[in-house]
Amino acid sequence: MKKNIKALIAVPTFNEAQNVSKLLVRLEQWKQDVLVIDDGSLDKTKDIVERMGFNCFSRESNIGLAGFYETAKRHALKHNYTHLVAIDGDGQHDPGYIPEFIRALQHYDFVSGNRLGDVAEIPASKLASNMFAILLFKKFLNLTFPDVACGFRAMKLIAIPETNCLSRFEIIYELIILHAKTGKPTGFVPIPAIYHASDALNTKIPEIDGLLSAVIKHNPAPELSNIMDSVKSKSTFRIRLFDMIFEACFQEPGAYLFQMHGLKPGAGLKENS
């Protein structure tokens, strides 16, 4: 039976004046169903969005992705949408794949982009941080998910949890975990990994904090608490996940650069403690 899908396309932005216009040009055909949520940008993001004629919700201060999903869900329910498609405002997602996400919603309540089908274009440090998240999910939650950090997603509105108790990035991972607990399958859409020359190759502390907070909530393992302590103290940390060693080196003012190394047969490297 074919589902009656009415999808809101929601775009989170924060200081994306250099990128958002290029994205909006490609979203023109869906313009009436697009909501840009400006999360307290200090640049001209809001002005650009409004000048291009797109619906824009703008905050005075930055509160993160938990607030984005809360606002998007509230707007969608008010305007009789049934589903949400989230696509990042930094130009790292190709909106040409939106129809594939909507088609997948005919079969799944939750659909995620998968950027890791072809890793050739992914910088080594970003591949390492993504693999860290993937293997963290597998080891501590027993969830095998090909790309846990991808922000290009589509879902039924009822799949979006209450966000008032979630940290800034925790919602990204909590959505996956809560959907997995329903026992329903997840749909995946292969998408290209797009990185610009100006993109930072490190991972900001709030992103790591969101990942760890979500996993610890469902498995308060000492290893995870130790990593969280390292992040809070801005210390380098190291952990073995299956046959990979991950090392994350702190970089001022508040980010980590990830490296990963495959274990050689018989190698005995000390895990994070």
Q: Counting Cβ atoms within 10 Å, is residue 270 exposed (0-12), middle (13-18) or buried (19+)?
A: exposed
Positive or negative: CA dihedral 37, 42, 45, 47: positive
Angle among Cα 22, 28, 31 to the nearest 5 degrees reads 125
* Residue-by-residue DSSP string for the chain: ------EEEEEEESS-TTTHHHHHHHTGGGGGGEEEEE-S-SSSHHHHHHHTT-EEEE-SS---HHHHHHHHHHHHHHTT--EEEE--TTS-S-GGGHHHHHHHTTT-SEEEEE-TT--TTS-HHHHHHHHHHHHHHHHHH----S-TT---EEEEGGGSPP-TTS-TTHHHHHHHHHHHHTT---EEEE------TTS--SEEHHHHHHHHHHHHHH---HHHHHHHHHHHTT--EEEEETTEEEEEEEETTTEEEEEEEEPPTT--PPPP-
The neighbouring-strand residues paired with 240 are 245
The answer to whether 214 touches 137, Cβ cutoff 8 Å, is no
**Rounded Cα gap, residues 56 and 46, in angstroms:** 7
> Which residues sit opposite 58 in a β-bridge?
38
**CATH assignment of 7-262, among 3.40.30.10, 1.20.1260.10, 3.30.10.20, 3.90.550.10:** 3.90.550.10
- What tens-digit pLDDT sequence spans the chain (273 residues)? 568 999 999 999 999 999 999 999 999 999 999 999 999 999 999 999 999 999 999 999 998 999 999 999 999 999 999 999 999 999 999 999 999 999 999 999 999 999 999 898 899 999 999 999 999 999 999 999 999 999 999 999 998 987 766 778 999 999 999 999 999 999 999 999 998 887 889 999 999 999 999 999 999 999 999 999 999 999 999 999 999 999 999 999 999 999 999 965 434 333 343
pTM score over 0.85: yes
pLDDT for 1: 57
Q: Domain locations in the chain? A: 7-262
Measured CA to CA, the distance from residue 57 to residue 111 in angstroms comes to: 25
pLDDT computed for residue 3 by the predictor: 80
Q: How far apart are CA 1 and CA 110, in angstroms?
A: 17
